[in-house]
Chains A and B, each alone.
Chain A
């Protein structure tokens, strides 16, 4: 199934994903309505579960706030597909079970508001019949993602 694409630029930082003044709210549910507020105050209202975030280089740079991938996941974002990610955001996303996918070619071939179809198991993303290959995750990280995140994986280990 093809899903709507929300396209962002280079160096989208974690303050833009979720600003500092919302981080001490009680939980992610209370924070998620402020996602991308400085870029598009209505983003959280417009987004629908299954949508895909597409970005250029260095997505998620800045702070270690796990609230950044968590609000995206809570809004139902299926995956973030970027040319590259900042490392803490990348690691946090895998830890909470949000697919983060490196794909060098997608960005230049999809429009903001367009659609893309992601096949996680095949590692491809398709736009208008054209398929792009995604970089494979190292096996260890894929294992965490498959388990549903680091805590789910830990609970399983300790059972």
Chain B
């Protein structure tokens, strides 16, 4: 019996020829990433709970401060200090304010065929380059950092065959939100979501990031796009070599196969408070839902392609006086490129607030938090109750064009309504 991409990656990491779903294997990890959401707790456990504290290979460990940077209160500042000091003491790569952890990992580390643990659920992002990235808690991270290994139960794989191209004005974000709407918030729980077919290969790496990043919102352990020439080029452009370009075997076994015609996908608006509370923009915009804030950013949708889309929509227009329009580029590299392309100027002239690169509004603990009963439309990763502020506030999820258009009109609408 053949293997799927995810199974091949686990087999490689376990040093065995064949794995099958539900087997438990000890694996050697290629890399481990931790951010400021939990690292202070990991450091405490390292210092106080381990009998034999050690780091198996500090070159495989990356610390990235992105959730609350720069610190917004003295307690966060202390948590950051703990993380910073530990990184220096153990010679661990440390990024502070350089970008959202997953964007940094894509720019500087991820290679196809790797098995990567990240202490953040959206580690599934790395599948955009054909890697197996999965989110773990700080205890798992600590064990991995100490031993260089971990245990993995081999998940079943769901295969998504994508066909054709997305229509003009429809984006990868609409595609993945449609898929999650179809299969539900636990539709891929414990499973790998594998994307292949000509439609998958038509997507840019940025678009594949959007796809893989949100697979965890359907419960997936990993999201992986079958790697191709675009992955090789991306790795080369970032000074890395693509070595393990795994594809599923002809006779690989999938728990289920889905077919998606990309030309049929429409712009989506997900209503509060569940990620599978799916609707089309066409339907939602009839309700003229008033918004207080609009956000373009996050590890899902804060890359250059998203900022270009937002800037195109607001160019020569003004943000509605009742709306705060917030932008947070996903990394400094993205920010600089946006500056050079004049995108930041366009956004600011329209009245947007452009913030430093971090998780920002998406995680509700930094900038742009919303108050009682306020309504946010966002390109963030989640619309959970209270995710972006007060528990009574509401988060709608949509693509960058819809968020930008809604910021101009003051209610949920698309760029065609301006």
Contacts and interface: CB of A to CB of B under 8 A. Distances in A.
Partners in one complex: yes
Interface of A: 11, 13, 15-16, 19-21, 23-28, 37-38, 57-58, 61-67, 69, 84, 86-88, 91-92, 95-96, 138, 140, 149-151, 154-155, 158-159
Contacts of B369: 21
Given A21-B369, A23-B37, A92-B137, 15 more contacts: A11-B185, A15-B384, A15-B385, A20-B364, A21-B364, A38-B386, A63-B121, A64-B121, A65-B37, A67-B38, A92-B140, A96-B137, A140-B151, A154-B146, A155-B50
A61 B219 CA distance: 7
Nearest to B365: A20
A31 to B, nearest CB: 10
Interface stretch (B73-81, B103-111, B313-321, B402-410): B73-81
A24 B140 contact: no
Interface string B354-378: 0000000001110001000000000
A20 B41 CA distance: 15
- 4 closest Cβ contacts across the A-B interface? A66-B137, A92-B137, A38-B391, A20-B365
Contact of A19 (B67, B123, B386): B386
Interface in B37-69: 37-38, 40-41, 44-45, 49-52, 67-68
A84 B67 CA distance: 29
B387 interface: yes
B365 A66 contact: no
20 contacts: A15-B385, A16-B386, A21-B365, A25-B75, A26-B40, A57-B186, A61-B185, A63-B37, A64-B136, A65-B137, A66-B41, A66-B139, A84-B186, A86-B189, A87-B219, A88-B136, A88-B137, A95-B139, A138-B24, A150-B143
A38 B389 CA distance: 10
Interface residues of B, number: 53
Contacts of B28: none
A154 B190 CA distance: 25
Interface of B: 24, 36-38, 40-41, 44-45, 49-52, 67-68, 75-76, 78-79, 118-121, 123, 135-140, 142-143, 146-147, 151, 153, 185-186, 189-190, 216, 219, 221, 274, 363-365, 369, 382, 384-387, 391
B189 A23 contact: no
Given A15-B384, A92-B140, A58 B51 contact: no
Contacts of A91: 136-137, 140
Given A63-B120, A86-B219, A158-B51, A20 B137 contact: no
Contacts of B363: 20
Nearest to A38: B391
A139 B207 CA distance: 40
B102 to A, nearest CB: 12
A65 B363 CA distance: 12
Contacts of A63: 37, 120-121, 135
B138 A88 contact: no
Contacts of A149: 139
A98 B26 CA distance: 22
A19 B364 contact: yes
A64 B365 contact: no
Contact of A87 (B41, B50, B221, B384): B221
B247 to A, nearest CB: 25
A121 B26 CA distance: 27
A38 B385 contact: yes
